[in-house]
Amino acid sequence: MTMIDLKARLQAELPELLKQDNNFRQWLEQLIRQTAVTPESFDTRFERMLQEFAADRAEQRRKWDEHDRAWEEWSAKFDAHAEEQRRKWDEQNRKWDEQNRKNNELLEEIKLSRSRQDQGIGALGARWGIASEHSFHAALKGILEKSFGVEVLNVNEFDDEGAVFGAPDQVEIDIIIKNGELILCELKSSMSKSDMYTFDRKVRYYERRHQRQVQRKIAVSPMVPPPVRAVADKLGIEVFGHAEDVTSA
């Protein structure tokens, strides 16, 4: 017999059986009372469920609060780390800028030193025949124009009276005019006493020929021995060992 058949038979025969058998009826009532859910037991179970639900909500809230606190701590640490990284980057950039500035200054010093070395090598080369005096003169002229910010004019005139060399000859003079000031220059790889006297005669020749007063006489040469400098001082000639030095005078 299946469960469905059993239920159908009970539904059909149970009412009559309860009427006929009082003991069976009492037994069934007692069974129902024992197994049935009373209002009191239902309320107790419902209250327990509410308490369990509230406890679960509280635990979830505690976990969420703990998670929020951990997140805030992590965020604070992250912000502090990011700020420290930004500070380090700023410091590193400052150091790079400072290093670049020093490198630029060093490059300028190297360029100036190289320029002076080139002049010195050119002077030696001219003395030993490796480079001509004309090439060295042109190099000094270019450096002087770049450093002094002026144009060096090369004037080649014929001295028919022989005032400079004692006989008629061509006279080559370098001229600078700056803010109305007339400056005559002598650019050579090396200068002797006779070179200084010749330069002084060139100046006096130019003044007579052009009826103009020369304000400064400048000799630029990396090789001027002390005795030659003494002659230059006597003649009022300014001596510079390198073309760049003229800018500071």
Looking from the CA of 194 toward its CB, the CA atoms found within 13 Å total 2
- Give the H/E segment covering residue 245: none
Per-position pLDDT tens, the chain of length 249: 677 777 777 777 777 777 787 877 777 777 776 666 565 566 676 677 767 767 888 888 888 888 888 888 888 888 888 888 888 888 888 888 888 888 788 777 777 766 666 666 555 554 544 445 676 677 777 777 776 677 888 899 999 999 999 999 999 998 988 778 899 989 888 889 999 999 999 999 999 999 999 999 989 888 889 999 999 999 999 998 765 566 555
Say which amino acid occupies 1: M
Residue 157: exposure state from Cβ atoms within 10 A (0-12, 13-18, ≥19): middle
Q: How many other CB atoms are found less than 10 A from the CB of residue 168? A: 13
- Give the H/E segment covering residue 6: helix 3-20
Measured distance CA(126)–CA(22) in Å, rounded: 149
The H helix count followed by the E strand count for the chain is 6, 5
- Residue by residue, DSSP assigns 69-113 as HHHHHHHHHHHHHHHHHHHHHHHHHHHHHHHHHHHHHHHHHHHHH
Q: 132-248: what CATH class?
A: alpha beta
Q: Report the candidate in 203, 242, 204 with the shortest Cα–Cα distance to residue 117.
A: 242
Give residue limits of the domains in the chain: 42-131, 132-248
Query: What does pTM read for this prediction?
Result: 0.47
Residues 6+ apart with CB under 8 A from 24: 17, 18
